Amino acid sequence: MNAGGWIFMLISLGLVWGTTIWAYCRLLGAPPEKPDE
């Protein structure tokens, strides 16, 4: 694997892991759903 491949892989995997963890933290930290009126 060349240098471009390493950079591309590390950025892509970092983004994928980072955004997934961020999204779940946001979702789990959201206020609980209000019951239907």
Partner 1 sequence: MIPYICALLFLALPIGWAEWAMARYGGEKGFHSGPAIMGMVGRGRIARYLGVLAILIPMVVYMYYVYIEAWCLRYAWEYLIGGVTLTGSIEEKVLGAAVFFGQTTGTDTNGVLNMSSVFWLIVVALNIVLVYRGLSGGIEKFCQFALPAMAILAVIVLIRVLTLGTPDPTHPDQNVLNGLGYLWNPDFSKLSDFDTWLAAAGQIFFSLSVGFGVILNYASYLKKKDDIALSGFTASATNELFEVGFGGLITITAAFVFLGASGVGGGFGLGFQTLPVVFEQMGAAGRWIGFAWFFLLFLAAITSSISMLQPVKAFFEEALGISSGQAIAWVSVICGFGSLWVIWFSKNMVALDVMDFWVGTFCIFLLATVQIICFGWVWGVKKGMAEIDQGALMRIPRVFVFIMKYVAPVYLLVVLGGFTYFNLGQKATEVSQNPVALWTVMIIAAVIALLVVLVAIGERRWRAAGMDLDGKRGEGD
Residue ranges in contact with partner 1 by CB under 8 A: 1-2, 4-6, 8-9, 12-13, 16-17, 19-20, 22-24, 26-27, 30, 34, 36
Smallest separation (angstroms) from partner 1 to the CB of 9? 4
H/E element, 4: helix 3-28
What b/e string do you get for 18-36 counting C-beta neighbours within 10 Å, with b at 16 or more?
eeeeeeeeeeeeeeeeeee
Give the nearest distance from C-beta 23 to partner 1 in angstroms.
4
**Minimal distance in Å, beta carbon 17 to partner 1?**
7
